[in-house]
Structure 1
Amino acid sequence: MADIRFRNRDALARTDAHDVALECLRAGIEAAHPAARVDETIVVRDGTLTVTTVDGTTTEYDLDDYDDVLLVGGGNAAGHFATALEDELGDRLTDGAVVTDDPSETATVDLLAGDHPIPSERGVEHASSVLEIAERADEDDLVIATITGGGSALLAAPAEPLSLSDLQAVTEELLACGATIDEINAVRKHCSAIKGGQLARAAAPATVATLVLSDVVGDDLSVIASGPTVPDPSTYGDALGVLERYDLDVPAAVRDHLEAGARGNRPETPTADDPAFDRTSAHVLGSGRTALEAAREAAAERGYEPLVLAAGVRGEAREAALTHVAIAEECRETGEPASPPAVLLSGGETTVTLGDEPGCGGPNQEFVLNGALDLEADGIVVASVDTDGIDGATDAAGAIADATTVPDAEGRAALERNDVLPVLDEADALLRTGPTGTNVNDLRAIVVEPVE
């Protein structure tokens, strides 16, 4: 099983409250690791593959019905997913390839390198390898697709006639504008040859079983990794709407491509009635709630009252921080809605709208810094991580802080220029894990100590 460690943890655990916050985050990340999820949800016995989803639904696949069992996919956690599935499937697994930025050890499946969050040349090359394996499958084969967060960037296959540089430019614009993940992915899907159900189209008429580790609020299968194996409800018109709504400066080739699609001059991504989905199913094996439940248990084991505020927090990171801090202060002052010692927990995905010349940081770092600066009471510690270990485009997973960690003027100036990593680093408040092997979005723990 996964063993997640925060670098320099002894220094980070300045108080009992800091230590409890770190333990909650660690437990949540480990519970959402593919090895843990496969161990709890996948069984191969007497030639039958049994899959149990997070809601308890069970599906069986008789492996003797298939000539070949192939594994394809992509995402931050896809490599560790492949390793765990190899252990379960053994020699039943025939071939496979997944694209990831966090490699593991496999015997049958090719682990191919890609880059996140901006697609790369090697990602394009390796996404083509995934498509080739899917296209080789026929009606007597089972294709297992492992889909995790990060797959939108890692499975980079530009739609004709777009280039990699077109994808890179539009991705950078989308990530900086404050758009929601479903808005971002509506554009990505219509600039891609693999997303938005097109991997399932390539694999048809094979049986396709998609195993999902969700990093999306609400576990919308069409949004997770831009839904390569499920129907796409978005359209070229929706993608154009995103460009207009956020006034995005994208390459002319991208705009021309989307406009041609909206006029009907390019084929739409497949919808639910497309024959590509006649023999497909999708199963969510883990999500942000998985991490939250484990964090809740960790808090209770340490004698703290856990309270899950929400699994789907979204919006601007700084604004979300203020709400969390207000609830924490209410707990400390009144004992409601949780009586200290308590841990307030939340998941979801916040965003940051960047200025003209942004510095270095990420949503979790901005959440922590703005929350800590706004604290009017001591005895509260704010911690937040991206569960994949990469917050924004930095080498930090997130941060941990209290009201004394960063001087007010220095911190607010850093927030103003979206350059929070340096001040948090200087304060020894950054959380670094390296790639964690999973991705179920953000996890936050706000620890509230009793008034002395």
Structure 2
Amino acid sequence: MIKIKNREKLITNGETELNQKARKLSLDSLESALNAVDPKRIIKSRISLQNSVLKVNGYSFDLKGFKHVYVVGGGKASGSMAEALEQILSEHIADGFINIPRGTKHKTKVIKLHETSHPIPDETGVEGTRRILEIAEKAGENDLVICLISGGGSSLMPLPRGDISIVDKKKITEALLKCGATINEINTVRKHISDFKGGWLAKKAYPATVLNLILSDVIGDPLDFIASGPTVPDSTTFHEAVKILKKYELWNTVPESIRKVLSDGEKGLIPETPKADDQVFKKVFTVVVGNNRFASLAACESLRSNGLNTLLLTSTLEGEARHVGTVLASIAHEISISQNPVSKPAGIVAGGETTVTVKGKGLGGRNQEIALSAALKLEGMNGVVLASLSTDGVDGPTDAAGAIVDGKTLERAADKGLNPEEFLAENNSYNFFSELGDLIFTGPTGTNVNDVSVIIVL
């Protein structure tokens, strides 16, 4: 079970009886969301082995017909996925290698779990990615390669193209994460400066059969953007990657090695990423085993079971985090005033992934910024709470999963001499909530399906 470690403290911080009740309801629903997308639970519920036949989502693979079964991949949830898959397939797996975030612990016997850096890639990630490619390249026509892909895989499986160094890769990753680019834009660039992403892993594995098991962290589940799509056709181009860097005024500041690769690609001097008409994809099968909607629906069900009128507002939430927080708080106000879009007692769930354009020098994450901006709108309301977290347990470059606020948050902040507008302007939401004790801590959850925000109006 995945639990919020400091839930009792977060509840008592509500001060009033109604706020404490609302806080408890929101935290219960977030825990339900996290456990609904526990990778071990998902793999064991979606995959079965019957008389050597592997069955998943309508596909059947008779393992007796394959000479070897290999398991490769990477991502924040891929370690848990590997552990569960190994328990199902046990002696059928010949070899395996998975890149996982540093500090996460899982138990496997055959599949090697290689710890590396996230969100900024490093040389250990390159080493692990090369090992994954070695396994893929040795797979033959009568072999099955199972790829366990989850969010975070883009950073965890780096393999820079051409003369691009890992230092150059770090620089562009940091710039893209700070400029406000969407994950799809970031991954478009990543795919075109990599010898692994954008379908290249599938190319290396051919003519083996490839089965992708994907836990999606990208809104709408576009396969070529989840972990930058190493085993699926790429829908983007070098030209689009260049346009994105120019859009965010990064083209003239990124390392020369990156500009050269992208320019050469635009000119047709180096191959484009593999597209849908490439023969390698005729032997690739893909199943999305879980996504944000799974988590968001579970959060709704928790609220419903506790007697609240519930609404799944969206599982495709996007936008600047501080603006999203204001909108979510406005919905809470509307419910309080007019009983719309649902009547009190109400529980609203919004899943997705926002962005933060970093302009200040503070510390925080998108969920913490959602909560801080919402707090500015909820001032004085009793029994109204917003809680928001990242399902991987790591919100931005912090050790917190997210934060929780209510109508007394600003009053408590004022008592401590904290100015919320100043903290928001500096992108310093972590330190604001640290002072109040309202950061949500789960530790690394071993899963990753974007973020979930919950609004309670009692």
- Taking structure 2 as the reference length, the TM-score comes to 0.95
2:366 is the counterpart of 1:366? no
1:428 offset after TM fit, Å? 0.6
- 3-state secondary structure, aligned to 2:319: strand
* Runs of 5+ consecutive residues of structure 1 not aligned to the other structure: 53-57
**Does the CA-based 8 Å contact 1:35-1:80 persist in structure 2?**
yes
Cα distance in 2, alignment partners of residues 122 and 162 from structure 1: 16
**Does the CA-based 8 Å contact 1:48-1:63 persist in structure 2?**
yes
- 3-state secondary structure, aligned to 1:352: coil
Cα deviations across residues 240-271 of structure 1 (Å, max 9, x unaligned)?
00110000121111111111111111111100
**Which residues in structure 2 correspond to 1:164-179 (within 5 Å)?**
164-179=166-181
1:297 offset after TM fit, Å? 1.2
For residue 311 of structure 2, what is the aligned residue in structure 1? 307
1:5 offset after TM fit, Å? 1.8
**Does the CA-based 8 Å contact 1:114-1:123 persist in structure 2?**
yes
Cα deviations across residues 170-189 of structure 1 (Å, max 9, x unaligned)?
00010001111111001000
Deviates more, 1:440-449 or 1:409-418: 409-418
* Runs of 5+ consecutive residues of structure 2 not aligned to the other structure: 13-19
For residue 203 of structure 1, what is the aligned residue in structure 2? 205
1:83 offset after TM fit, Å? 0.2
**Which residues in structure 2 correspond to 1:111-190 (within 5 Å)?**
111-190=113-192
1:32 offset after TM fit, Å? 0.5
**Does the CA-based 8 Å contact 1:103-1:113 persist in structure 2?**
no
Cα distance in 1, alignment partners of residues 147 and 177 from structure 2: 26
**Matched residue pairs, number?**
441
**Residue 329 of structure 1, aligned match among 327, 333, 336:** 333
Cα distance in 2, alignment partners of residues 87 and 428 from structure 1: 40
**Does the CA-based 8 Å contact 2:21-2:383 persist in structure 1?**
no
For residue 65 of structure 2, what is the aligned residue in structure 1? 65
Letter of the 2:362 counterpart: G
1:103 offset after TM fit, Å? 3.2
Aligned-residue Cα RMSD (Å) equals 1.1
**Does the CA-based 8 Å contact 1:405-1:429 persist in structure 2?**
no
Cα distance in 2, alignment partners of residues 129 and 91 from structure 1: 21
Cα distance in 2, alignment partners of residues 295 and 214 from structure 1: 18
**Which residues in structure 2 correspond to 1:25-424 (within 5 Å)?**
25-52=30-57, 58-101=58-101, 102-248=104-250, 249-355=253-359, 357-376=360-379, 377-406=381-410, 407=413, 410-424=419-433
Deviates more, 1:31-40 or 1:359-368: 31-40
- 3-state secondary structure, aligned to 1:312: strand
Letter of the 1:427 counterpart: L
Cα distance in 1, alignment partners of residues 318 and 438 from structure 2: 23
Cα distance in 1, alignment partners of residues 339 and 295 from structure 2: 25
Cα distance in 2, alignment partners of residues 278 and 159 from structure 1: 25
**Does the CA-based 8 Å contact 1:195-1:226 persist in structure 2?**
yes
**Does the CA-based 8 Å contact 1:308-1:345 persist in structure 2?**
yes
Cα distance in 1, alignment partners of residues 282 and 406 from structure 2: 53
For residue 428 of structure 1, what is the aligned residue in structure 2? 437
**Residue 3 of structure 2, aligned match among 2, 5, 9:** 5
Deviates more, 1:408-417 or 1:146-155: 408-417
For residue 17 of structure 2, what is the aligned residue in structure 1? none
Cα distance in 2, alignment partners of residues 423 and 100 from structure 1: 31
**Does the CA-based 8 Å contact 2:300-2:349 persist in structure 1?**
yes
Deviates more, 1:386-395 or 1:373-382: 373-382
Letter of the 1:374 counterpart: K
Letter of the 1:87 counterpart: Q
Cα deviations across residues 35-87 of structure 1 (Å, max 9, x unaligned)?
111122111111111112xxxxx111111110011000000001000000001
- 3-state secondary structure, aligned to 2:409: coil
Cα distance in 2, alignment partners of residues 271 and 158 from structure 1: 20
1:94 offset after TM fit, Å? 1.3
Cα distance in 2, alignment partners of residues 252 and 383 from structure 1: 43
Cα distance in 2, alignment partners of residues 371 and 302 from structure 1: 24
- 3-state secondary structure, aligned to 2:354: strand
Cα deviations across residues 124-168 of structure 1 (Å, max 9, x unaligned)?
111111111111101000000000000000001111211000100
For residue 449 of structure 2, what is the aligned residue in structure 1? 440
Letter of the 2:95 counterpart: D
Cα distance in 1, alignment partners of residues 317 and 174 from structure 2: 23
1:321 offset after TM fit, Å? 1.2
1:301 offset after TM fit, Å? 1.6
For residue 15 of structure 2, what is the aligned residue in structure 1? none
Cα distance in 1, alignment partners of residues 265 and 237 from structure 2: 8
- 3-state secondary structure, aligned to 1:229: coil
1:93 offset after TM fit, Å? 1.3
Letter of the 1:342 counterpart: A
**Does the CA-based 8 Å contact 2:391-2:449 persist in structure 1?**
yes
Cα deviations across residues 338-396 of structure 1 (Å, max 9, x unaligned)?
111111101111000011x4210010000001001112533210100010001011101
- 3-state secondary structure, aligned to 1:26: helix
**Does the CA-based 8 Å contact 2:44-2:85 persist in structure 1?**
no
% same residue: 44
- Taking structure 1 as the reference length, the TM-score comes to 0.96
Cα distance in 1, alignment partners of residues 286 and 49 from structure 2: 18
**Does the CA-based 8 Å contact 1:237-1:262 persist in structure 2?**
yes
Cα deviations across residues 8-29 of structure 1 (Å, max 9, x unaligned)?
2111113011011111111101
Cα distance in 1, alignment partners of residues 431 and 305 from structure 2: 34
Letter of the 2:430 counterpart: L
Cα distance in 2, alignment partners of residues 235 and 149 from structure 1: 22
Cα deviations across residues 197-240 of structure 1 (Å, max 9, x unaligned)?
01101100000000000001000001000000000011111110
**Does the CA-based 8 Å contact 1:112-1:126 persist in structure 2?**
yes
Cα distance in 2, alignment partners of residues 115 and 402 from structure 1: 35
